[in-house]
Amino acid sequence: MNNSFVSKETLNKILKELAAAEDVLLYAPVLNGKVLDFAEITDAEKIAISDDISYKSPKEAFMPQAENLMTFSEGGVLESAYDKKTVVFGAKPCDAEALRVLHAVLMTGKFQDPFFERRFENSVLIAVGCASEKPGCFCTERGFDKEFSDFSDIMLRRDEGGTGYTVTHLSGKGRELLSEFNETKGIEAAKRTAKAQGTGMKKLELDKSIEDRELFDIIDWDKATEICQGCGMCTFICPSCHCFDFKDVSTFSETKRYRCWDSCMYPQFTLHASGHNPRASVKERFRQRVLHKYLYINKIFGYTACTGCGRCIRSCPAGMNIKKIVESIMEVLP
Amino acid sequence: MSFDAQREKIKEICKDLLEKGLVETVIGYAEGGIDGARIPYMFGTPEGAKALCWDQRCVVNLCTYAYEKRDRKTGVVAKPCDVRGIVNYIAENQLNRENVYIIGVDCDGMVGADGEKLPWCAECSVKKPPVYDVKVENPDITDGESAKKEEPSSMPGDFAKFQTEISKCILCYSCRQACCGCYCPVCFMDRGVPNWQPAEPGQGAKMMYHLGRASHLAGRCVECGACERVCASGVDVRYIIKEATKFIEDVYGFRAGFDTETEPVMAAYDPGDREIGFLGGEKHE
Ligand code: SF4
Ligand code: SF4
Ligand code: SF4
Ligand code: SF4
């Protein structure tokens, strides 16, 4: 770790340069009407720096909603090129933690995802610590520090005077990007409130040794999911949801292969060609969503695929609350 | 009559319904959302009525739950837009009138977490339930002109605005899922044969979706705003649907969700219908 300081003015200058740079894609929070969005930026003036959390997550920068992977034609197979550097500015610590999950699933398992990998390797994640928890946030209960995540390349924390940010470089990539701008070297290893990892409180998570069948029976999933409308919004805005589908698009001369986000909350997700659907209703779908996040990914990769960002709770049109559901599971377990 | 008085009356009615065994389940609102929002609440015992809420944060349209429970007798605490959704289901033969007990509640509009009236509520002119089994009135509320009259857009002059609006859409189809008018078991957008969805997930697909959905909701939208509320991208989802609603009202004098007997306008054909409703018919003035 290596700490320094950056003033607001300098940061603005850096962002302006990044936004203008042809070979850099800059993603940042931006106000879209009343909604705080996370999007590609070309005009640094548009960046909305605030403590608020964006409705959508920054995962799009690493896994776009629709990505053209390759083109087939008589000339052969052409993989789509991707050579831009991506800078993601203004992600929250929970977003960085979500990237840790995506990285584990897509890059460390039995199969590697080259398309995610090239975006990941080409990116610099600049996270900004949160001053407060927003309604619905539960990162602390999940054991994270709302001000810090070491899965970012650069971690910024507002300094108390409000003149700028304490910068913690966590990777070579991060150091490189900001090297010319370090204003004060060697600031004390940030006055970080070390109440990280939710000390003193029971962490919201499920024991890996639990058998899912057991949970199928001891939880009244009908009751737990009766208000869910199956809209799927929770999965699209979740920073750690990563299920996808492929789609081939043909014209007379070529076929393009896309990868698109998919959602376990959609009926088509598990629909068999025979017409049979093993997850026939919202009950099975939502149960899968919770257990995939809290149990299955944990069993395989050692992480829970929920960072407590609260996006699904804030965006749910029905008022479903994943935190309460996990709490209720924890309550009935021995 | 205040919210409190209405709430007490709602509790009394629901308790009574369950005690007398007139319904199996009641759908209303209870605490539990973030920022004070109320969430849908279903219960089947008279004691359950104690937890009922009724205030300005009862935003969710409950008619989709009544539809989910259409195989049994259900009581619904229904705002005028919820009632219109239920009536629409009944008129379209999706729900038996006998299976739903409508507790119609006068409503002057709901507010968001910021205390501001929700946009669709600000535009709403139906404040008293058009159909009910029992009503929970509020004499301070009168039907009539909405506070905010939307300027009708002039298609196709506003086509550019429509294009900009939907360019924000990420095609998650959440608006469709939240809508009580969108109950098709398989949406046209999900069909493979024929494949209505343009191949690339770009502007073309977004147009197909929003134009398709708007035309399917012509004369069926009950103006509840559920679609717009769910949208993560801040799309003015009802922009073109409002246009279709207005067109149907101008041409056929029909508004959805007011009575269970009238044949839905798009299901009815009368040789005397104005040509304007047909493709290639007279021009829309
Ligand atoms: S939990 Fe909420 S956001 Fe997710 S599918 Fe159900 S209704 Fe939609
Ligand atoms: S499940 Fe909900 S709270 Fe957890 S990471 Fe996803 S959006 Fe955030
Ligand atoms: S308008 Fe909004 S809710 Fe509807 S499909 Fe598009 S992004 Fe999803
Ligand atoms: S289109 Fe929107 S406003 Fe109309 S009934 Fe459906 S959800 Fe409600």
Chain B residue closest in CA terms to A316: B230
Cα A234 to averaged position of ligand 1 atoms, centre (Å)? 5
- Residues in B closer than 8 angstroms to A249, CB to CB, are 199-200
Chain B residue closest in CA terms to A324: B32
Does A288 lie in the same domain as A153? no
Q: How many domains does chain A have?
A: 2
The answer to whether B233 contacts A56, with C-beta atoms less than 8 Å apart, is: yes
The pLDDT of residue A57: 93
Does A293 lie in the same domain as A160? no
Does A169 lie in the same domain as A55? yes
Cβ atoms of A225 and A213 within 8 Å: the answer is no
Query: Do the domain assignments include residue A196?
Result: no
Considering chain A, what percentage of its residues have pLDDT values greater than 90?
A: 62
Domain-terminating residue out of A139, A164, A184:
A184
Residue A161 has pLDDT above 90, yes or no: no
**Whose Cα sits closest to atom 2 in ligand 2?**
A312
Mean pLDDT of B245-257: 89
The residue among A160 and A279 whose pLDDT is bigger is A279
Query: Do the domain assignments include residue A180?
Result: yes
Does A157 lie in the same domain as A10? yes
Mutate to test the interface with A, among B29, B31, B34 (most CBs of A within 10 A): B34
Q: How many CA atoms lie within 13 A of B284 on its CB side?
A: 15
Residue B4 has pLDDT above 60, yes or no: yes
Distance CA(A139)–CA(A145), nearest Å, equals 7
Considering CB atoms only, which of A266, A313, A317 is closest to B178? A317
**DSSP tag of B76:** E
Does A281 lie in the same domain as A153? no
CA angle B42, A138, A92 (to 5 degrees): 130
Residue ranges making up the domain that contains A145: 5-63+81-184
The residue among B150 and A231 whose pLDDT is bigger is A231
Query: Do the domain assignments include residue A201?
Result: no
Query: B194 pLDDT band (50/70/90 cuts)?
Result: low
The number of helices, as runs of H, and strands, as runs of E, in chain B is: 9, 5
Does A96 lie in the same domain as A220? no
Query: Do the domain assignments include residue A130?
Result: yes
Q: Is A28 exposed, middle or buried (0-12, 13-18, 19+ CB in 10 A)?
A: buried
Query: A180 pLDDT band (50/70/90 cuts)?
Result: low
Domain-terminating residue out of A167, A184, A201:
A184
Q: Token match 């922009």: residue?
A: B239
Distance CA(B26)–CA(B29), nearest Å, equals 10
Mean pLDDT of B214-230: 93
**Whose Cα sits closest to atom 2 in ligand 3?**
B231
Does A132 lie in the same domain as A32? yes
Cβ atoms of B10 and B28 within 8 Å: the answer is yes
Q: How many CB atoms lie within 10 A of CB B77?
A: 27
Mutate to test the interface with A, among B172, B191, B193, B239 (most CBs of A within 10 A): B172
The pLDDT of residue A178: 73
Mean pLDDT of A249-267: 89
Residue B146 has pLDDT above 60, yes or no: no
The least confident of A70-74, A80-84, A118-122, B249-253 is A80-84
CA distance B199 to chain A (A): 6
Distance CA(A55)–CA(A36), nearest Å, equals 6
Which atom of ligand 4 lies nearest, measured to the CA of B179? 7
The answer to whether A317 contacts B229, with C-beta atoms less than 8 Å apart, is: yes
Residue A294 has pLDDT above 50, yes or no: yes
Strands A164-169 and A2-7: antiparallel
Helix, strand and coil percent figures for chain B, each rounded to 5? 40, 10, 50
**To the nearest whole number, what is the mean pLDDT of chain B?**
88
Cβ atoms of A298 and A306 within 8 Å: the answer is no
CA distances A127 to A110, A124, A153, A235, A297, Å, are 29, 10, 8, 22, 24
Does A281 lie in the same domain as A135? no
Query: Do the domain assignments include residue A232?
Result: yes
Query: Do the domain assignments include residue A73?
Result: no
The residue among B156 and B174 whose pLDDT is bigger is B174
Does A128 lie in the same domain as A168? yes
Cα B175 to averaged position of ligand 3 atoms, centre (Å)? 5
Does A291 lie in the same domain as A234? yes
Mean pLDDT of B65-70: 93
Distance CA(B134)–CA(B104), nearest Å, equals 6
Query: Do the domain assignments include residue A152?
Result: yes
Mean pLDDT of B234-259: 89
- Residues in A closer than 8 angstroms to B65, CB to CB, are 226-227
CA angle B217, B219, B224 (to 5 degrees): 70
Chain A residue closest in CA terms to B44: A223
Q: E strand or H helix at A287, and its extent?
A: helix A282-291
The residue among A22 and B103 whose pLDDT is bigger is B103
A32 three-state secondary structure: strand
Does A323 lie in the same domain as A218? yes
The pLDDT of residue B145: 57
B105 three-state secondary structure: strand
pTM comes to 0.87
Across the A:B interface, residue pairs with CB atoms under 8 Å apart total 88
Cβ atoms of B257 and B87 within 8 Å: the answer is yes
Distance CA(A305)–CA(A142), nearest Å, equals 11
| Both tokens assigned to B93 | 């033969």
Mutate to test the pocket of ligand 2, among A57, A151, A240 (most ligand atoms within 8 A of CB): A240
Query: Do the domain assignments include residue A195?
Result: no
The residue among B40 and B150 whose pLDDT is bigger is B40
| Both tokens assigned to B108 | 């002057």
Does A43 lie in the same domain as A132? yes
CA angle B19, B21, B23 (to 5 degrees): 115
Cβ atoms of A238 and A57 within 8 Å: the answer is yes
The least confident of A62-76, A186-200, A235-249, B177-191 is A186-200
Which atom of ligand 4 lies nearest, measured to the CA of B222? 5
Cβ atoms of A25 and A85 within 8 Å: the answer is yes
User: Can you spell out the DSSP letters for A75-132?
Assistant: TEEEEPP---EEEEEEE-HHHHHHHHHHHHHHHSSSS--HHHHHHHHTEEEEEE--SS
Distance CA(B84)–CA(A136), nearest Å, equals 32
